[in-house]
Chains A and B, each alone.
Chain A
Amino acid sequence: MQRRMTWKEFCFVLPLLLLVMVFSLYPILSSFVYTLFDYQTNNQSKNALYTGATLNAALYAEDCDYLVHYLKKDVDAVAEADKPTLQVLMDTLNVQKTLYAVGDTKRALNAGTGGEIAGLIAQTRQTVQSLAAKYPDLRIVQKGPTLLDEMETCLVKSNFVGLQNYQRLLQDSRFGQAIGSTVEFTLISVALELVLGMALALIMDKAIRGIGLVRTTALIPWAIPTAVSALIWCYLYDGSSGVVAVAFTRLGLIPSPEALLTTAAGTMFSAILADVWKTTPYMALLLLAGLQVIDRGLYESSAIDGAGARRTFTGITLPLLKPSMLVALLFRTLDAFRVYDLIAVLTKGTPETLSIYAYKMMIGQSNYGYGSVIVVAMFALVALIAFVYVKILGAELIRE
């Protein structure tokens, strides 16, 4: 029976809660918030979360400065009658420039100011157009229109898009393909790791001389950082000098040595092989821990009852190992599902798994809004996997 926490106890837990909030809940929540915006860092009208009309003051002032700069010289080039027009325009723009050049680079706009600025841009455009026929060589005529176009982009509108990014996700065939590759990678590599890891664990569980050495050496692949082991495999798979690539070609498994790192099937195979090599020892270690807690007396009794090795394995080892096996599978499935570093180093991004796709969207294309949607979708899928393992397969895991 659990009792209620007292205030004093709560005070002791509070720092932990705060840490969790700052370092765990806050980033997750901001990812969720990003998904609701068309947030792209390579576009100055979308490079933040704009909820209302905003002025890109820095760029606006810069553009005003450019126009003023061009007008200064142009004033001398026009007829006396046109000088006042240019002078007035120049003064107006100069006021705007001094108004917005200092202070916040981004400012919230009320409808009035926004309208004024839009009106000023339109008016300037008209003046420039009226000058164009008479003085085609003026700098303001030649450069003005492009600058005015840019000034219009300074009036930033809200980039809140609601659930549009999610809608796009549902129609994104590349996302579907990414799920496909991720699932394929996860299923095959985890299945192979389970079988090989089990075999390795059974060997390491035997109390024979020199087993310590076997256990230590078996763990080496897992101890190597993934980026380093991926680089090692990269050399082995290399089309022109890689040992593995050449051996496979001689054996007739692949048409040419380059196939391992350049074809779709080749990269999937290469990634799975490298992953299995690296994480089988980890699987074996988790299973070994499970094997060691099985009461040795059970094996003795079954031997006395005349059970063979196979019967002992299916009747005693497997059922008693099930909790450890489920924990190991859960860990490995989630790990494999989120695979990024191995593929990023090995092939720079093929097969395109979910993590790779999210990375390409966010960092490669600077699209944080849509990239976050992919991340959130991954988050949901990972939660689903964990749920399936815990609820359906491993009810006994948390029964105790």
Chain B
Amino acid sequence: MFVIQYFIPHYPFNRMSHWFSDWFAIILACAIVLGALNLMKISIQKVIKKKPGWGYAVVIIASFLLITIIGLSEGEGFREPGTWFDWLYVYVYTPCSSTMFAILGFFVASASYRAFRARNFEATLLLLAAFFVMIGRVPVGDIISGFMPEGARLSNLASWIMTFPQTAGQRAIMIGIALGIVSTSLRVILGIERAHLAGE
């Protein structure tokens, strides 16, 4: 329907496409509620059965109840600056989730140290590209190469790598994925691929 509507954006296809979009939004909104309730169910079961890590499940339940009760008690303007909900969002949720993401930086550094090796020609090429992009994308790159002419500094080299070889690689990946999607979709539509129906 969406494919037809893309090429023929007129009645009745446009109307049908709108219906589907609306229903998609409704189902997705219900799915959010379903997901939250499912998380509660699993967490409560974990606490009752004292499964490993049940202490974390207690934190989940307490946090869920706290934020839900505060959100509901503050009415329609619960997200306004200055509310309890906003305070929890700014001073608890934001730092906690940012910390979780920030830990990634440490693991990336450790993984680079242990695994980023110039084992062969391709790996060396990748290593050199990473080196120049990493150093060229930050101001210190231009400080190091400050003695060079304006257009030949590390920031220009990083920009060139990103604009040409990197873009070419990204295009190849995108085209590959698109062809893969088309071929898989055709296999499903023509009934060749039946794994989603529990077939072969």
Question: Do A and B come together as binding partners?
Answer: no
Q: Which residues of A contact B (CB under 8 A)?
A: none
